[in-house]
Amino acid sequence: MVARPGLIQRLDRGAEGKLTLVAAPAGFGKTTLLAEWVEGAAAGERPAAWLSLDRGDNNLEVFWTYVVTALRAVHSEVGESALASLRASQTPPIEWLVTALINEIAAIGDARSAGSGPGLTLVLDDYHVIETEPVHSSLGFLVDHLPPQMHVVVATRSDPPLPLARLRGRGELSELRATDLRFTADEVAAFLNEVMGLGLSAADVAALERRTEGWIAGLQLAGLSMQGRDDAPGFVQAFAGDDRYVVDYLVEEVLQRQPPHVRRFLLRTSILDRLCGPLCDAVTGRDDGNKLLEALERGNLFVVPLDDKRRWFRYHHLFADALRVHAAEELSDDMAVMHRRASEWCERNGQPSEAIHHALAAGDFGRAAGLVELAGRAMLTARQDETLLGWLQALPDEEVRTRPVLSVYSALAVVSVDPQAAEERLRDAERLLDATAPVDGPPDTAAVEPVVDDDAGLRSAPGMIAIVRAYGAGAAGDLPGVVDHARRAWELLPEDDHLWRGGAGGLLGLAYWTSGDLEAAYRAFSDAWASLRRTGDPIQQISGAFVLADIRTAQGRLREAARLCEQALQRAAGQGGPMPPPAAELYVGLSDLCYEHGDLDRAARYLQKSKELSEHGGISEHRHRWHVAMARIKQARGDLDGALDLLDEAQRLYVRSPAPDVRPVAAVRTRLLVRQGRLAEALAWVRERGVSVDDELSYLREFEHITLARVLIARSRRDQAAGREAMTLLDRLRTAAEEGARAGSLIEILTLQALAQAAQGDLPRALGPLERALTLAEPEGYLRVFVDEGPPMRTLLRHAAARGIASSYTQHLLAAFDGSAQPGSSAAQAAAGLAEPLTAREVEILRLVATGMRNQQIADHLFISLATVKRHLANTYRKLGVGHRTEAVARANEQHLL
C-alpha cells in the first residue's frame, strides 16, 4: 500500500467539522484510504463505526438498524432504546429515534473527556446505493444535530442529496474528490516500483500515469498484469498505445495469466455478491474455496475481506463487474446452474433474501416462489413490504396464481391502489384453498394443483383473505363491510397468529368506533392489543392505551380512562430508557381528564410534560389535540383570544389518521365563537358544514350536532323558533346517546336541554334534565361540563341546590364557579383612556416583546403562527397609536399596561 499522509491529514482536519464527503468514481481508493485512516485513528481516541452499504439497505428501518448496530460495536452504551424501538412492530417517527441516539452519544462524550475532539466516527461506505429519500433526510437530520463528539464520513460515487451547500458555507463540510484521490506522479512510481516491485523506468511510470490518469484501479490491474512478465516495457508500450477501456484491457490480461483452475473459480464465483469458502465450494462443486480465497487475498487479486476473521469476502466492485461480463460470455448456460447452487446454499444457511435473488437470477421461478412464500411473513413483520412486493413482481403470474399464500400476499400489496386486482387474487386464493381441502366426490379436473410451502401461512390464509377484504371495504368507506370481514378474520385466524389477529382486531375496533358502538370498539381494541403485546412491542401498548382511554371518556368513565393512561405511563417508565414519544399523547389524555375535574394547574403541567416529550419527535397525528387541550385551559382562564389562536393553530396542524375525527377542531372553534357572542361567524360554520336539525344522526357527527344545538340556543334569545329547534334536536341526540351508551355525550346533552328550557323561561322543566345530568356526573367527578356553561348554569344550579338536588355535589360545583376566572377588562386600560382596550392576548404578546423576544420566538413560545403574532401586534400598534415595537413597549409602560 502507498502511504498517503497528505490525505490522512486532511481527513484528520475534516473530522473537526460535521461531515466528510469522499466522492469519486469506482476505483479511486476511497475505501482503502478510509480504512487506513480509521485504523490509525482507532489506536487513538477516535474509534470508528464502519458500515458498508448495499442495495438492500434502502429502507429506513434497515438502514438505521445497521447504523445503530455499527455504533454499538464501538460504544456498547449507545443506541439501546433506538434498537428496541426499531424492533417494535410500530416504529416511532425516525426523528425521535435519531434524537434519542444523538442524546446518548452526547452523553458518552461528556462522560469521557470534554473537548478532546471527536470521540466517534461513523463511516458510511458505498452510500451511492441509497436511493430512498427518507434515508437521505434522516441522515441529514443526524448531521444537522450532530453532537460535537461525533463525525460522519460518507464515501460515495455520486454526491448525496444532503444539504451540502449549507454545510460547506458554514465550514462544516470537508471534501475529498477524484482530483484529490488520484495517484500523483510520485505515488504512481511508489506504487509500481516499491509496492509491486516492478522496477520500471521513469518513462514507463510516466506512460502508465498518463494512460490511467492516476486511476488507482487501473494502476493496480496494470501492476498485476506485469508481475512476473519479462518484457515490462513492451507491455507498457502496448497498453499505452491502446484506446480500450482500461478494465477490459487489463482484466483480460490478468485472466489470461491465471492458471485454468483459478480462472474458472473467478468466473464462476463472480455471480456472488459476498463470498465465503463453503459458498464458493457449493457454486464450483469443488472443495478448494477457502484456499483459493486466501490465495487471491495474498496475491491482491481484488478480493476485499468483509470481517476480521477473513471468512467473508467480496470482489472489488469493478473487477466483479468485468468478471461477470466475461462469465456471461464464456459460461452462458452454466450461469443458471451456478445461481441455482448459490440459491440452495443460501437457503440452507439462513439467507433467504440471497436465496431468492439467486433463484430469480437462475430463472428457477418455482423455487423462487416457494422461498418468497416462506419469507413473506417475516418481511411483513419487519415492514419490508416493498421488498416483498418487488419479489412478487419479479415472479411470473402463473407461479403466484397456483399458490394460495402468495395470492393473498399479492392481494394485500395492491388492495389500496387496485382493489379489483386484489379481489381477483383473493378469488384465486379461495379456489386454491378449496382444492387443498379434502373433498368427497369426483375431483375437479379443471382445478389447478395448489402449491404450498408455508404451512402456517396456509392455515392463516382464510383469515388473511378476510383481512384484505376488510381493508378493501375500509378504502371504499363501507363500514358494515369492514366489521363483517374483520370479524370473520378474527374467527378464522389461528389462535397463535398474533400478528394478523392484532391487525383484524384493530380494523374491527376502528370500524366499531367510527360507527359509535363504543363498547364493541373497546373490546375489539383490547383483544387486538393483547395479541400485539404477545409479539413483544412496548410502543403498541402506549398508543393502545390512548385509544382505549378516549373511548372510556366518551362513555363517561373518566376514572377508568385516567387509570388506563397512568398504568401505560408506569409501564413505559418501568422499561427504562427515555419515554417513547406516544407517551406525549397519554399526557394530553391525562390533561383533558384533570381539566374536566377542574384541576387546571395540573392539566397545564401535563401539557407541559407532553410538549417536552414531543419535542423529541413530531407525533404529527396528535399535535392538534395538544393545542385543543391548551385552548380549553386558556378559555377557562378567561383568555378567549389566546384560546382562539390555539384553535386556529390546531386546525393547521390537523392530520387525518385512521382514527375517526369525533371532535373536529372547526366545531370546537365554533363553540368558542358562540361563547364570545360571535354568532354570525358561528352561523357561517353551520352553513359551511351543512349541519342541520334534520340530519340523520351518527356518532361521527354527534359533536357537530351538539355544537349546532349550542348555536341554536344562543340564537333563541332573539328567535323563538331556534329554541324549539334546539330542543327537538337535543331530544333526538339524547335518544341516540342513550342507545349508544355514551354517558359522556349524554351528560352534555342533558345540561344543554336544561339550559335550553331555562332560556325559554321554563325553570321547572329545566331541572329534570339537570338532575339527571348531576346524577350521572357525580360518581365520575365531572366539573367543567357544568362550570364552562357560565352564569346561566350557575343560576340553574342555585335553584337545584335550593331544592336539595344532589346537594353536596351541587354545592361543590357552585363553589367552583367562584374560583373560576372571569374575562374582564383591566382597570388600568380604562385609566389609560384607550378608545379600544387591549385584549388579554395583546397584552401578553406585548409583555413578551418587552422581554426582547423576536416575533418568531413569541410565536414558538405561544404555539401560534408568526402571522398571528404579527396580526396581534398590528392591532396593538393601532390601539396604542404607535408605529413600531419599541414605541409600543414604551407607550404601554408609560400607561402601566404591562
Partner 1 sequence: METRDAPVSETYELRVQGHLDDCWSDWLGGLSVRRQEDGTTVLAGPLVDQAGLHGVITRIRDLGLPLLSVQRVGPHSEHR
Q: Which residues in this chain contact partner 1 in the complex, by CB under 8 A?
A: 25-28, 128, 157-158, 215, 217, 242-248, 317-318, 321, 324-326, 328-329
Q: Which three three-digit cell numbers place residue 734?
A: 339524547
User: Side-chain half-sphere of 741: how many Cα atoms within 13 Å?
Assistant: 10
Which residue in the block uniquely carries the three cell numbers 466483479? Answer: 320
To partner 1, the closest distance from the beta carbon of 424 in angstroms equals 22
- Judged by beta carbon, residue 242 or residue 418, the one nearer partner 1 is 242
Which residue's CB is nearer to partner 1, number 239 or number 525? 239
Q: Which is nearer to partner 1, 329 or 333 (CB)?
A: 329
Strands 173-177 and 120-125: unpaired
Backbone angles phi, psi at 2, to 5 degrees: -90, 125
CB of 251 to partner 1, least distance (A): 10
Question: How far is CA 824 from each of CA 283, 444, 486, 835, 837, rounded to the nearest angstrom?
Answer: 86, 84, 54, 16, 11
Nearer to partner 1, 327 or 507 (CB): 327
CB of 244 to partner 1, least distance (A): 5
- CA distances, 826 to each of 186, 788, 791 (Å): 83, 22, 20
Burial category of 447 from C-beta neighbours within 10 Å (exposed 0-12, middle 13-18, buried 19 and up): exposed
In the bound complex, what is the minimum distance in angstroms from residue 390's beta carbon to partner 1? 15
Q: Identify the helix (H) or strand (E) that includes residue 52.
A: strand 48-52
Least spacing, CB of residue 696 vs partner 1, in Å: 48
Q: How far is the CB of 126 from partner 1 (least distance, A)?
A: 10
Considering the complex, what minimum distance in angstroms separates the CB of residue 317 from partner 1? 7
| Alpha carbons 656 and 622: distance in angstroms, whole number | 9
Residue 77 or 334: which CB sits closer to partner 1?
334
Please state the closest distance from residue 315 (CB atom) to partner 1, in A. 13
Sorted by sequence, the CB contacts under 8 Å of residue 723 that are 6+ apart come out as 712, 713, 715, 716, 756, 759, 760
Specify the residue, 325 or 693, whose C-beta has the smaller distance to partner 1: 325
**Nearer residue to partner 1 within complex by CB, 216 or 579:** 216
- Alpha helices for 30-93 (secondary structure H): 30-43, 60-74, 80-87
Nearest to 10, CA basis, from 176, 148, 167 = 176
Nearer to partner 1 by Cβ, of 79 and 218: the residue is: 218
Other CB atoms within 10 A of residue 850 CB: 16
Q: Report, in Å, the least distance between residue 203 CB and partner 1.
A: 21
**Distance of alpha carbon 876 from alpha carbon 871, whole angstroms:** 9
Q: What is the DSSP string of 283-305?
A: HHTSS-HHHHHHHHHHTT-SEEE
Measured from the CB atom, is 393 or 608 closer to partner 1?
Answer: 393
Of 318 and 756, the one with the shorter C-beta distance to partner 1 is: 318
- Please state, in angstroms and rounded to a whole number, the distance separating the CA atoms of residues 601 and 610: 14
Distance of alpha carbon 635 from alpha carbon 645, whole angstroms: 11
For the bound state, the minimum distance from the C-beta of residue 214 to partner 1, rounded and expressed in Å, comes to 12
333 versus 440: smaller Cβ distance to partner 1: 333
CB of 490 to partner 1, least distance (A): 42
Closest among 517, 606, 611, 595 to 555, alpha carbons compared: 517
Q: Are 33 and 181 in contact (CB under 8 A)?
A: yes
Nearest-approach distance from CB 330 to partner 1, in angstroms: 10
Closest to partner 1 by CB, 22 or 758 = 22
SS (H, E, C) 475-493: HCCCHHHHHHHHHHHHHHC
Nearest Cα residue to 596 out of 810, 787, 749, 745: 787
